[in-house]
Amino acid sequence: MFEKHCPVCGMDVKKETAIKRFGKYFCSEEHAGRFTQQETERKAKEPRGGGCC
The tens digit of pLDDT for each residue in 30-51 reads: 999 999 999 889 888 877 766 6
Domain presence at residue 52: no
> What is the gyration radius of the CA atoms in the chain, in angstroms?
14
Q: Indicate the pTM of the whole model.
A: 0.71
Taking Cα atoms as reference points, which of 17, 36, 35 lies closest to residue 27? 17
Q: Which residue has the higher pLDDT, 49 or 10?
A: 10
**Structure confidence at residue 49 (pLDDT):** 66
pLDDT of residue 17: 87
User: Which residues sit opposite 25 in a β-bridge?
Assistant: 20
Domain that holds residue 13: 3-42
The span from the CA of 7 to the CA of 19, in Å, is: 12
What pLDDT, on a 0 to 100 scale, did the predictor assign at position 51? 62
- Residue 25 falls inside a structural domain: yes
Residue 48 lies in a domain: no
> Does some domain include residue 29?
yes
pLDDT on residue 1:
52
Asked if residue 53 belongs to a domain, the reply is: no
Total tally of structural domains belonging to the chain: 1
CA distance 30 to 45: 23
Provide the CA 22 distance to its chain's centre, in angstroms: 5
Domain membership flag for residue 35: yes
Q: Given this model, what pLDDT does residue 52 score?
A: 65
Please report whether residue 28 resides in a domain. Answer: yes
